[in-house]
Structure 1
Amino acid sequence: MVKSHLYIKLYEDLKQQIIEGQYQSGDKFPSKRALSQHLSVSNTTIEHAYQYLLDEGYIYSKPRSGYFVSDIENLPLIHRTGSPVEYDEDSKTIQNDVTTHYDYAFNLREIDTEYFPNQQFRKYARDTFEDNAVNLLQYTHPKGEWKLRQEIAHYLFYSRGVTCRPEQIIVGSSTEQLIYLLTDILAETDYIIENPSYPPIKNVLDKKEIFYAQFPVNKTGMDLKNLKTSNYHVAYVTPSHQFPTGYVMNLKKRTQLIHWAQQRTDRYIIEDDYDSEFRYFGKPIPALQSLDTKDKVIYISSFSKSLFPSCRIAYLVLPDKLVDKFDHMHNKPSNTVPTHMQHIVAKFMASGSFERHLNKMRKVYKAKLQYIIDALEPYHKQLKIDDALAGMHFTLTVKNKLTTEQCLARAKDNHLKIIPYSMYDDTITETKFILGFGGIPFSKIKDHTDALIKSLTV
């Protein structure tokens, strides 16, 4: 509790200093390490305070440069006439130039809406309101609607090899919300996460001030050489398509990780299987949970890519021991997903429409990715694509001595938005970008790729 009060007080003090003009627009803010040493407080306290300032737009970050004070005229909390700060969730930066317009963008987290079966989905929406009009007005079960959990269990078994019952499934509104719930179920424990890591897990652990260690990721997955000598209890991994690297954990490491978890009763693996529906090359890799014989893997995924982001449905598969802990929790949280949306998605899955939609979108996304790969091939001495086997993003390393700043400036001149890899890994020394292609329409994929080549090649 003391730590919580400390970082909130620090955030309030720094915010007030900015408002009062002790810092000017564009001034470099103290580094987290320097401020931590100066105030004799933990790095975690500084990180939380800075995150609050970032979230509210008082400061912004630049890759490998640090934090800078935003233009106070543009902050909506100050009753001035300036334009509000625009927050770009993909690049995690504050954009003070609200006039910037991009004709082309390799955004993350976007899907192709052109091929979504809107008519079918509307039909299931109408059926839901006709069939369950009264039930939709009531609170749903804390774990989610039974029909949806049945369909998820059926889907996971046939698509990912995950064996579970509907009772083991908890439906939530996002991966981050379910991770937050998991940290309550697992109570006081410490974590191993990947480095670089998928943002939701780090966000939750930082906010709740839970201790964690970061193990580096290489081409075969998380580096496990220090696993046996470590004293941690929970490992969080994205083995099927690691974010942001795109690497896939090999079978040897999967087996090692499971053996580690099975050695103690209080050890678990959290398998985040996001993007697993979309594998384009090579044999599909079964989920880590399907290899587990002693109930040590907690499985988590969502419908944000397989359906659409705004449906706000993610799901968690708990081992039986943790199901019992959840069932006996006092003050269990209410389910956060609207009842009607759960019924609609359940009908969509039960009819076979979900499976048909996935099959179609695999072909669509594979064709887009293949086009980009083929278009970049003549420039292979300058541009290196890494691990474009699955998911809806890939990484691209620039090998022609252009710096990240030079590439970003050239991209801006070409009205192109690209995301520096350093946004997710500030230790990187290469010029590297993480590019999402899911939301680019087929009709514009050539123009996007041409702008990319023009910006990153010499």
Structure 2
Amino acid sequence: MPKKHLYLDLYENLKRQIIEGQYQSDDKFPSKRALSQHLSVSNTTIEHAYQYLLDEGYIYSKPRSGYFVSDIETLPIINKNNTQTGQKFTTENSYTRKKDFKYAFNVSEIDTEYFPMQQFRKYARDVFDDNQMNLLQHANPDGDWSLRQEIAHYLFNSRGVSCHPEQIIIGSSTEQLINLLTEILNNEQFNIENPSYPPIKQVLDKKQISYLQVPVTKTGIDLSYVNKSQNNITYVTPSHQFPTGYVMNLKKRTQLINWAHQNEARYIIEDDYDSEFRYFGKPIPALQSLDTHDKVIYMSTFSKSLFPSCRIAYLVLPKKLLQQYKNIDNKEGNTVPTHMQKIVANFMKSGSFERHLNKMRKVYKNKLTLITEKLKKYEDQLQIDGALAGMHFTLTIINDLSLEDCLKNAENNNLKITPFSLYDHNASTVKFILGFGGIPYDQLEAHTDALIKTLCK
């Protein structure tokens, strides 16, 4: 493996040894210095490999004692037979949690400074009022009706998605809803983007459902692979592909819908996870709004538009699949607390949600503009992609710095950046995925300066 991927190779090998039982719970791990000398690799390589094991819970540290193997019984289930999907990701994985870095471009953080907490608190008080005792009873497993109504109104007005509230199913996460969809679709085989949003592979691997990984181009998923595939389900993130940030153009959206129309069993899953935030150019309509044959399953979440801990996601089922959903026996119940669903419904009904989105769209656009304007001065060394929408973009390093060089510089500058190779193990370029949403505006310049100092010569 090329040197720039050495830390990933080490991370995978150590993780595999833990999973396969070569270490027992609470076994002491080699010190970074000892392992560095033993393998004749840099301390930086060991540092980053250990950090990923720490972040994913495979090992833990004790002050002044070193590193130890976590409780084997609590480790995540891994499909050992699939080396392509050996890495475990969750929606609350290492790259979304801020560590002890002075500067950090975390991918899944929002700006909490502008959240209308006072208004949200008011709606929380209202739903816990004495006359709301009915909310203490068992909830509708499909989701609170008032929330589903508000989501239907919002989707029609903002994304052109036409649906009845009955078609909307509430869940606690994208993973939960994808898991549900595999049951509705009778475990049909998938086409998924490569690189892709990690939870989709996680669910399919766990359920041992086959899938084809389809390359992503700057205009979206490569349809030549989809057209040749025998798989009937295609999962895409067209509004701001994760992790590349590319936007699927209108022509390809139409072609993908035509693909679905050619066979009764075909469906498109459209994950529109951060479509609220498009900053430049005319908004591109949702795939679902372009479809005339009920072949698009639409899904999204409130993690970016509200806050991650609200744990509310939703999907819009085509009417043809609604009955199949209702016919599933013993399906997993809705795990989102009824009170939280009601709070969000009232927040949306009052118009506060739309006002909040409008404000945050300006906030994030200003942040992105500040960062990219500073980076453009170094366009001979840095290539920016995926900066038209969403809350992350990518930087490709086009000077002669290696990944190891960049990570060592980042460590020296107390900067946390996520290598693109964590999502695409076959990445041939030195590339990083950078989230900017959670960085306070008054700290953006310092963060960007640290980034430039790290990645430029």
TM-score normalized with structure 2 length:
0.83
Q: CA deviation at 1:434?
A: 0.3
Q: Corresponding residue for 1:323? A: 322
* Mapped partners of 1:423, 1:14: distance in 2: 19
Secondary structure of 1:126's counterpart equals: helix
Secondary structure of 1:114's counterpart equals: coil
Secondary structure of 1:409's counterpart equals: helix
Q: CA deviation at 1:228?
A: 2.6
* Mapped partners of 1:13, 1:278: distance in 2: 40
* Kept in 2: contact 1:277–1:358 (CA 8 A): yes
Q: Corresponding residue for 1:5? A: none
Secondary structure of 2:284's counterpart equals: coil
* Mapped partners of 1:313, 1:168: distance in 2: 16
Secondary structure of 1:396's counterpart equals: strand
* Mapped partners of 1:328, 1:11: distance in 2: 40
Q: Corresponding residue for 1:240? A: 239
Q: Corresponding residue for 1:258? A: 257
The 1:114/1:88 distance shift into structure 2, 3 A limit, reads farther
Q: Corresponding residue for 1:288? A: 287
* Mapped partners of 1:392, 1:153: distance in 2: 24
Q: Please, which moves more after superposition, 288-297 or 325-334? A: 325-334
1:16 aligns with 2:31: no
* Mapped partners of 2:370, 2:169: distance in 1: 38
* Mapped partners of 1:244, 1:134: distance in 2: 44
* % identity of equivalent residues: 63
Structure 2 matches for 1:341-380, cutoff 5 A? 341-380=340-379
User: Deviation digits for residues 6-26 of structure 1, max 9, x if unmatched?
Assistant: xxxx98995532129799667
Tell me which of 69, 76, 90 is aligned to 1:75: 69
Secondary structure of 1:225's counterpart equals: helix
Q: Which amino acid aligns with 2:367?
A: K
Q: Corresponding residue for 2:451? A: 452
Q: CA deviation at 1:444?
A: 0.6
User: Deviation digits for residues 260-319 of structure 1, max 9, x if unmatched?
Assistant: 111111110000001100000000111000000010000000000000000000000000
Q: CA deviation at 1:88?
A: 10
Q: Corresponding residue for 1:333? A: 332
User: Deviation digits for residues 211-268 of structure 1, max 9, x if unmatched?
Assistant: 0001100011000113333211100001111001111111121111111111111110
Secondary structure of 2:124's counterpart equals: helix
The 1:288/1:440 distance shift into structure 2, 3 A limit, reads same
* Kept in 2: contact 1:90–1:108 (CA 8 A): no
Structure 2 matches for 1:86-105, cutoff 5 A? 101-105=100-104
Q: Which amino acid aligns with 1:260?
A: W
* Kept in 1: contact 2:29–2:66 (CA 8 A): no
Q: Which amino acid aligns with 1:75?
A: V
RMSD: 2.7
Q: CA deviation at 1:76?
A: 4.7
Secondary structure of 1:236's counterpart equals: strand
> After the TM superposition, which parts of structure 1 deviate over 4 Å for at least 4 consecutive aligned residues?
10-15, 20-28, 51-56, 87-94
* Mapped partners of 1:12, 1:433: distance in 2: 28
Q: Which amino acid aligns with 1:322?
A: L
* Mapped partners of 1:107, 1:403: distance in 2: 21
Q: Corresponding residue for 2:410? A: 411
* Kept in 1: contact 2:195–2:242 (CA 8 A): yes
Q: Corresponding residue for 1:42? A: none
The 1:135/1:412 distance shift into structure 2, 3 A limit, reads same
* Kept in 2: contact 1:11–1:52 (CA 8 A): no
* Kept in 1: contact 2:89–2:198 (CA 8 A): no
The 1:53/1:313 distance shift into structure 2, 3 A limit, reads same
Q: CA deviation at 1:327?
A: 1.3
The 1:449/1:91 distance shift into structure 2, 3 A limit, reads farther
Q: Which amino acid aligns with 1:171?
A: I
Q: Corresponding residue for 2:421? A: 422
**Mind listing any 5+ residue stretches in structure 2 that lack a counterpart?**
1-14, 37-51, 73-87
Q: Which amino acid aligns with 1:109?
A: S
* Kept in 2: contact 1:18–1:58 (CA 8 A): no
Secondary structure of 2:347's counterpart equals: helix
Q: Which amino acid aligns with 2:148?
A: R
Q: Please, which moves more after superposition, 123-132 or 351-360? A: 123-132
* Kept in 2: contact 1:90–1:107 (CA 8 A): no
Secondary structure of 2:235's counterpart equals: strand
The 1:25/1:249 distance shift into structure 2, 3 A limit, reads same
Secondary structure of 1:330's counterpart equals: coil
Q: Which amino acid aligns with 2:58?
A: G
Q: Which amino acid aligns with 1:142?
A: P
* Mapped partners of 1:54, 1:258: distance in 2: 39
Q: Corresponding residue for 1:35? A: none
* Mapped partners of 2:441, 2:23: distance in 1: 46
* Kept in 1: contact 2:410–2:416 (CA 8 A): yes
Q: Please, which moves more after superposition, 237-246 or 19-28? A: 19-28
The 1:155/1:92 distance shift into structure 2, 3 A limit, reads closer
User: Deviation digits for residues 311-346 of structure 1, max 9, x if unmatched?
Assistant: 000000000111111112211321110000000000
Structure 2 matches for 1:81-160, cutoff 5 A? 101-130=100-129, 133-160=132-159
The 1:181/1:132 distance shift into structure 2, 3 A limit, reads farther
TM-score normalized with structure 1 length:
0.83
* Mapped partners of 1:118, 1:91: distance in 2: 23
* Mapped partners of 1:437, 1:14: distance in 2: 34
Q: Which amino acid aligns with 1:152?
A: I
* Kept in 1: contact 2:57–2:70 (CA 8 A): no
Q: CA deviation at 1:130?
A: 1.3
The 1:52/1:186 distance shift into structure 2, 3 A limit, reads farther
Q: CA deviation at 1:383?
A: 1.1
Q: Which amino acid aligns with 1:18?
A: Y
Q: How many correspondences in the alignment?
A: 403
* Kept in 1: contact 2:192–2:211 (CA 8 A): yes
* Mapped partners of 1:161, 1:101: distance in 2: 42
**Mind listing any 5+ residue stretches in structure 1 that lack a counterpart?**
1-9, 29-50, 60-70, 79-86, 95-99
Q: CA deviation at 1:77?
A: 3.4
The 1:167/1:52 distance shift into structure 2, 3 A limit, reads farther
Q: Corresponding residue for 2:58? A: 57
Secondary structure of 2:226's counterpart equals: coil
User: Deviation digits for residues 72-95 of structure 1, max 9, x if unmatched?
Assistant: 8433539xxxxxxxx99799669x
The 1:137/1:22 distance shift into structure 2, 3 A limit, reads closer
* Kept in 2: contact 1:205–1:211 (CA 8 A): yes
